Chain A
C-alpha cells in the first residue's frame, strides 16, 4: 500500500524527529510512504483567524499536490479536522467542492490509520512506566480520533495510563489564540499543568504538536518535573523504532 505522508507545518519546523518516527511506524507495517517535497501547512492559522479567501488558496495547493488516489496520513488530529472536515465547509457551494471532497475523504490521522485501517497489534518492549494523556480539542471533537490513540496505548502492556481530571479541556493553544489572548491562554495552560503534575506520572503524552508546543513550553517556564512527549515518539520507542 502507498500513502502520502503530510508532516504538518509544526512537524516540519519543530517536531521533525516525530515526523521521521511516524514514517517509520508506517513503514514497519509494510506501507510505502510518499513524501511530497512541496508540502506546507493545512491552513488552520489563517482559517481560524477568519481569512477564508487566503485559506482557500492553501487548500487548493494541498488538494492539487496530493492528487493521486492514495490515503493522506497526518500525525495531528487537529490538522485532520481541518483537512477532512473544515475544508469541505470552506468550499461549500464552491466550484472546486468535488475536487476538495475527493481529497478530504482520503485524509487519516496516523493513529486512526494504524488502528482502523492497518489494525496494528503492538508488543511493548519498554520498561514499566506511568503516563498521562492530553486530548487535543479538534482530535476529540472534529476529527474524533482520540479513541484510536487510546486503543493503541492499551496494547502497550507496560504502560499505565493515568487519566487527567481535565483531559477534555483545552490547553489554551488554539493556534493564534495563544498570542492574541496570551493572558487567558496562560491561565488555561497553567490549569492543565496543575492537573498534569497532580497525576504523578513520568510523561504527559499528546498526539498533537500544537498542544505539546504550548504545554511543554509553559512547563519548561515553570520548571515542571513532569516531562512531555509526542505520542508517536513514545510509541516508536516502545515498539523498538525511534531514538
Chain B
C-alpha cells in the first residue's frame, strides 16, 4: 500500500468484493469483534457507572489542549529537554523517517526493534528503512505475525485480529520453523522465544506514544506484552514517534484518558504494562537507554487543527472501539480501506492526512448508523465528520480537506441530487413526480436520473409494492384537514 497513489473506485470495489467473499476472514472478524464488544459492554456495566461523566472529562482534557496546541507542544519540549530527551520536529513523513535513519546511521545501527506504533505505520517506516538497508523488526505479537506474512495492520489496536490461532500456528511454522501449534499459550511461547533472541544485544528501539504529558515532559505508553518496555529500556537509543495530538496537560488528564482507553480498546480496566518514561538513563541508574529521542510528528495534523470541526478528530486516543462497533468494518476488515487507519476514525482522518483526492471512495464506507459516535470515549462526532467529508467531495462543505479540489465524484449523482432537491422543495412538482414514477417511486424519486441505482438495489432485493396514491386516500378519510 502506498500513500501517494490514487485509489480508484474500481480498486475499492475489487478489494471489498474479495474481502466480503473471504469466509475465513469474515468469521474471524465477526467473532473477534463480538468478543471485544461484549467485554467492553460488560465491564462498563459492572465497573463504570459514571462512564458518561468520564467521557466528558476525557473529551474536555483533549479539547483543552487542542485549543492551544502550540503552547502545550512548546511546554512539552521544554520539560522533556530538561529531562534529557532530545526533541525533534518532523513536518512530513519523510522528515520523520530521515531523523530515525540518520540516528541509526550515525551510530552504526543496522537492526531496529519496534514496539507497536500506528504513527510509524503512517509514515511507512519499515519500508523506508528497508530501502535504506536497515531492518526494522516488529516486537508486538500481532505486528510480528503480520510482518512475517508481509501484511499491514488490519486494526489499529489488534493488528492481526483477522487471523485465528490456527492460522497463526501455520504462520509460525512456515516462517519461524516452529512446530505446528494452535494453543494460545504455546503460540505465545514460540513468539517469546523468537523475540528473546531478537532482543539480545539490540541497540535501537522505536516506540509510539499514548500520552505526552506537557507539564512533566514525560511520555506514557500503554501495552500488554512487555515488549514495549523492552524496546524502550533495554536499548542504547530509544526513539519515540509522537503525533503532536498526543499531547495532554497533566498526569491527571492522562489518567482520565487511560481510564477511557483500556476499557474501550480491549474491555479491561488496565493493561499489563503502563510505561511512564521521563528520559534517558540518569547517573547512577542501572538500566534505561543512554539516549532518548522524541519525534513530534505533524504530517498534516496542523491542517486538521485549523478547521472548526475537523480538529475534534485529533482528540482520538486510538482505542479502536469505533472500528469494533462499525458494521462496515466488521464485514470488510481493515485492509479494504486501502489506508493506514481503517474504520470510522480512519475514514475521517485518512483523507486529511493523505488527501481526499487519493481517498475519494473512503467516505462511502459508512452507512451513517452513528454507532461509532455513540461509543467513542472522547465523543468525537465521527458520523458528522464523515458526512462533512462527503460535502467536501461535492464542494458544498467548508473546502478545508486536503485535495478536495481534485476529488472525483459522480456527476450522475450530482444531477440526481439536484433534481431531487428541486422536486422536494416544490409540492406541485413533487406530486407530479410521484404520480409519474409509480413503478418504483421511492428510489426513482430519491435518485432522480441516477438510473443504475435500480439495478443495484434489485441485485439483492425484490421490488417493493407501490401502494397507490396517498393523497386520494387521505382526502377520503373523515376528519382530516387536507390543505
Please tell me which one of the listed residues B424, B437, B457, B470 contacts residue A20 in the complex, with CB atoms under 8 A apart: B470
Please tell me which one of the listed residues A32, A35, A142, A175 contacts residue B370 in the complex, with CB atoms under 8 A apart: A142
Nearest-neighbour CB distance to chain A for B55, whole angstroms, equals 15
- Is B389 positioned at the interface, with any CB of A under 8 Å from its CB? yes
Q: Tell me if B421 and A54 are in contact (CB < 8 A).
A: yes
Q: Tell me if A182 and B387 are in contact (CB < 8 A).
A: no
Known pairs A11-B470, A137-B370, A174-B369; A33 contacts B480 (CB<8 A): yes
Contacts of A33 in B (CB 8 A): 479-481
Q: Which residues of chain B from 34 to 63 have any CB-CB distance to chain A below 8 Å in the complex?
A: none
- Is B428 positioned at the interface, with any CB of A under 8 Å from its CB? yes
Contacts of A65 in B (CB 8 A): 427
Please tell me which one of the listed residues A12, A172, A220 contacts residue B327 in the complex, with CB atoms under 8 A apart: A172
- Is B157 positioned at the interface, with any CB of A under 8 Å from its CB? no
Contacts of B446 in A (CB 8 A): 9, 41, 45, 175-176
Known pairs A11-B470, A35-B481; A46 contacts B327 (CB<8 A): no
Count of interface residues, chain A, beta-carbon cutoff 8 Å: 78
Contacts of B471 in A (CB 8 A): 37
Contacts of A14 in B (CB 8 A): 441-442, 464-467
- Is B391 positioned at the interface, with any CB of A under 8 Å from its CB? yes
Q: Interface with A: B188-196, B257-265, B275-283, B360-368, which one?
A: B360-368
Q: Tell me if B445 and A181 are in contact (CB < 8 A).
A: no
Q: Tell me if B393 and A35 are in contact (CB < 8 A).
A: no
Q: Tell me if A184 and B365 are in contact (CB < 8 A).
A: yes
- Rounded to whole angstroms, the CA-CA distance of A191 and B397 in the bound complex is 34
- Rounded to whole angstroms, the CA-CA distance of A65 and B365 in the bound complex is 35
Q: Which residues of chain A from 30 to 69 have any CB-CB distance to chain B below 8 Å in the complex?
A: 32-41, 43, 45-55, 57-58, 60-61, 65
Nearest-neighbour CB distance to chain B for A188, whole angstroms, equals 5
For the residues of B in contact with A, the DSSP-based class is helix
Known pairs A40-B423, A61-B425, A170-B371; A220 contacts B461 (CB<8 A): yes
Q: Interface with A: B158-166, B227-235, B412-420, which one?
A: B412-420
Q: Which residues of chain B from 427 to 482 have any CB-CB distance to chain A below 8 Å in the complex?
A: 427-428, 430-431, 434, 437, 441-443, 445-447, 453, 456-457, 459-471, 473-474, 477, 479-482
Contacts of A237 in B (CB 8 A): none
- Rounded to whole angstroms, the CA-CA distance of A121 and B447 in the bound complex is 41
Q: Tell me if B17 and A183 are in contact (CB < 8 A).
A: yes
Q: Which residues of chain A from 182 to 208 have any CB-CB distance to chain B below 8 Å in the complex?
A: 182-189, 191
Nearest-neighbour CB distance to chain A for B455, whole angstroms, equals 9
Contacts of B473 in A (CB 8 A): 16, 20
Nearest-neighbour CB distance to chain B for A100, whole angstroms, equals 14
- Rounded to whole angstroms, the CA-CA distance of A114 and B364 in the bound complex is 36
Residue among A37, A188, A220 with max Cβ neighbours from chain B (10 Å): A37
Q: Which residues of chain A from 89 to 122 have any CB-CB distance to chain B below 8 Å in the complex?
A: 89
Q: Tell me if A9 and B367 are in contact (CB < 8 A).
A: no
Nearest-neighbour CB distance to chain A for B481, whole angstroms, equals 4
Q: Tell me if B425 and A179 are in contact (CB < 8 A).
A: no
Q: Tell me if B367 and A177 are in contact (CB < 8 A).
A: yes
Q: Tell me if B396 and A50 are in contact (CB < 8 A).
A: yes
- Is A74 positioned at the interface, with any CB of B under 8 Å from its CB? no
- Is B332 positioned at the interface, with any CB of A under 8 Å from its CB? yes
- Rounded to whole angstroms, the CA-CA distance of A168 and B38 in the bound complex is 13
Nearest-neighbour CB distance to chain B for A208, whole angstroms, equals 12
- Rounded to whole angstroms, the CA-CA distance of A157 and B466 in the bound complex is 32
The 4 closest A-B pairs by CB, nearest first: A38-B427, A50-B390, A174-B367, A217-B461
Residues of B within 8 A of A (CB): 13, 16-17, 20, 26, 327-328, 331-332, 363-371, 373-374, 384, 387-394, 396-397, 413-414, 417-418, 420-428, 430-431, 434, 437, 441-443, 445-447, 453, 456-457, 459-471, 473-474, 477, 479-483
Residues of A within 8 A of B (CB): 2, 7, 9-17, 19-20, 23-24, 27, 32-41, 43, 45-55, 57-58, 60-61, 65, 89, 137-138, 140-142, 168-170, 172-189, 191, 213-214, 216-218, 220-221
* Known interface pairs A2-B481, A45-B420, A57-B424; 15 further A-B residue pairs with C-beta atoms within 8 A, sorted by A's residue number: A7-B470, A11-B470, A15-B467, A33-B479, A37-B471, A48-B387, A48-B390, A50-B391, A55-B421, A137-B370, A140-B370, A177-B367, A179-B457, A189-B460, A217-B463
